[in-house]
A and B are shown apart, each in its own frame.
Chain A
């Protein structure tokens, strides 16, 4: 095993190495022309977090559980007209602000996991680099836009 030191006739090892590189020279490269061709990331890839504002109830669980506190949420209560005639007016929590600072985010996914109302989703989209650090703070509109890129969850192994 470990003492397998190939000590055959001289320069055989060098020649073998040259053979490997020459062989690879005539094979297709495995990399792609990145901005022109793109590899499709796996559906579960943690690229960016999408927000469904309709589902969010401003419960703040995600902001609280975030290990580096990069989610900023503000909201207020709104009185909604009663669902039925003569019923009571309902209070509904409405988001004023939902920002995720991707410069701080460590992409652990705890926020998505703890959300009890399915308001947060992972999207594999990852092409949102910026020239300045301030651009990494995604506001509510931007987070909602990501919703379109959320893929179907993959089928499972039987």
Chain B
């Protein structure tokens, strides 16, 4: 069609009918400041109306350089750093790092310390999953499950704080055990930081409450027809794709792969505990949600068993006061609430590591985004992103 003067074209209405309507794609920047990107993730989405044609995640807005920071900090100082990687489950982050250092130094934590580690790790898992239980329905528009989940999470955090002194950043693990003493001076030297009195009973009570709120969440969220309409069949990750993209944790298990490092590797005394690994079938958002809900219940089960059989004994193995790690390298991975978290430590001897490589769960889980968000609707984009449950601190490190 030749160029027409617009004023003429206006009057040629029947001619204009044959002109094909052009709808150029719009580039929509979702983030870095956006309510449902869990921090500062940026998605550059090419959208056609409501349909997202392609998505390119841009990460790094929260890069704090922990791997580099660890190279100029002693091992004890690094423990205080690593629990800030995935801040919603701080305690669980310390475990693989500490155990990697223990492996290099060839020490093993006493059994009581290991049980305390296990109990607190599972508490961190519950608190992390309860955050998911609150944020995920919120992303789908339901605000009330948030407060219900937070109410019980607060109990867990209070217990963690009662033992470690920190709600989010416990900094409680030490090489060779858990934090031995409040101070090193003569008066407080013997003041060991064992579990405070009543902790075990409080933990039992808190687990009952957690199981109750799980039932509440079942009523509020799981059974809700609107929630099911939004999640069932949305964002399906088939088994082979999940393995291909290196998903781990609940995201992998939702796709039907029953792989859990708590059973696969024995870094904490999980072998004596009776628990199940919940798996999904379809790998959709609903499965990812329900696997996490089941994991809360399993974690509560683990804690209930662990507080019953926690042995007494020392909290610390014999380690020198000034940590000098012999040359060598070690990789230890553990089941973080978000997935597989591992630390690869290279030591050249001395007080600081030569190199620390952090394998964080959220970073790997995020890699599936461009594939899974292709040709989805904008509301589904939010549903899928929320269901992958990543924390930007864990992605960018």
The stretch that binds B, out of A71-79, A92-100, A112-120, A139-147, is A112-120
Identify which of residues 33-50 in chain A touch chain B, using a CB-to-CB cut-off of 8 Å: 41-46
Chain A neighbourhood of B223, CB < 8 A: 6, 12-13, 16-17
**Which of B144, B187, B276 is close to A118, meaning CB atoms less than 8 Å apart?**
B187
- B196 with A157: CB separation less than 8 A: yes
- A2 with B192: CB separation less than 8 A: no
Identify which of residues 183-198 in chain B touch chain A, using a CB-to-CB cut-off of 8 Å: 183-188, 191-198
How far apart sit A118 and B175, CA to CA, in the bound complex (Å)? Answer: 22
How far apart sit A155 and B164, CA to CA, in the bound complex (Å)? Answer: 14
- B197 with A1: CB separation less than 8 A: no
Chain B neighbourhood of A4, CB < 8 A: 290
Residue from A1, A2, A3, A11 whose CB has the most chain B CB atoms within 10 Å: A2
- A106 with B169: CB separation less than 8 A: yes
A27 to B: closest C-beta gap in Å: 10
**Which of A11, A13, A120 is close to B183, meaning CB atoms less than 8 Å apart?**
A120
Q: A112-155: contact bitstring with B at CB < 8 Å (1 yes, 0 no)?
A: 11111111111000000000000000000000000000000111
How far apart sit A127 and B42, CA to CA, in the bound complex (Å)? Answer: 35
B116 to A: closest C-beta gap in Å: 10
- A16 with B219: CB separation less than 8 A: yes
Interface assignment of B261: CB less than 8 Å from any CB of chain A = no
The stretch that binds A, out of B28-36, B225-233, B374-382, is B225-233
How far apart sit A139 and B287, CA to CA, in the bound complex (Å)? Answer: 54
Q: Total A-B residue pairs with C-beta atoms closer than 8 Å?
A: 144
Chain A neighbourhood of B211, CB < 8 A: none
Q: B212-224: contact bitstring with A at CB < 8 Å (1 yes, 0 no)?
A: 0000100111111
Identify which of residues 5-28 in chain A touch chain B, using a CB-to-CB cut-off of 8 Å: 5-6, 10-14, 16-17, 19-21, 24
How far apart sit A14 and B222, CA to CA, in the bound complex (Å)? Answer: 10
Chain B neighbourhood of A154, CB < 8 A: 162, 196-197
- B81 with A2: CB separation less than 8 A: no
Q: Which partner residue on chain A sits nearest B215 by CB separation?
A: A20
Chain B neighbourhood of A24, CB < 8 A: 148
Chain A neighbourhood of B195, CB < 8 A: 156-157
A17-B166 CB under 8 A given contacts A5-B286, A106-B80, A108-B171: no
- B171 with A42: CB separation less than 8 A: no
B119 to A: closest C-beta gap in Å: 12
A113-B191 CB under 8 A given contacts A14-B224, A65-B76, A67-B81: no
Q: Which partner residue on chain A sits nearest B226 by CB separation?
A: A14
- A44 with B193: CB separation less than 8 A: yes
Chain A neighbourhood of B154, CB < 8 A: 30
- B80 with A2: CB separation less than 8 A: no
Q: B245-284: contact bitstring with A at CB < 8 Å (1 yes, 0 no)?
A: 0000000001000000000000000000000101111000
B272 to A: closest C-beta gap in Å: 20
A57 to B: closest C-beta gap in Å: 11
Interface assignment of B158: CB less than 8 Å from any CB of chain A = yes
**Which of A16, A21, A122, A156 is close to B165, meaning CB atoms less than 8 Å apart?**
A122
Interface assignment of A103: CB less than 8 Å from any CB of chain B = no
How far apart sit A71 and B193, CA to CA, in the bound complex (Å)? Answer: 24
- A19 with B219: CB separation less than 8 A: yes
A12 to B: closest C-beta gap in Å: 7
Interface assignment of A83: CB less than 8 Å from any CB of chain B = no
Q: List 7 A-B contacts (CB under 8 A).
A: A2-B278, A17-B223, A46-B165, A65-B74, A65-B77, A106-B80, A110-B76
Q: Which 4 A-B pairs give the minimum distances between C-beta atoms?
A: A118-B185, A108-B80, A13-B223, A67-B77
Show the binding face of A for B, using Cβ within 8 Å. Answer: 1-6, 10-14, 16-17, 19-21, 24, 30, 41-46, 55, 65, 67, 106-110, 112-122, 153-158
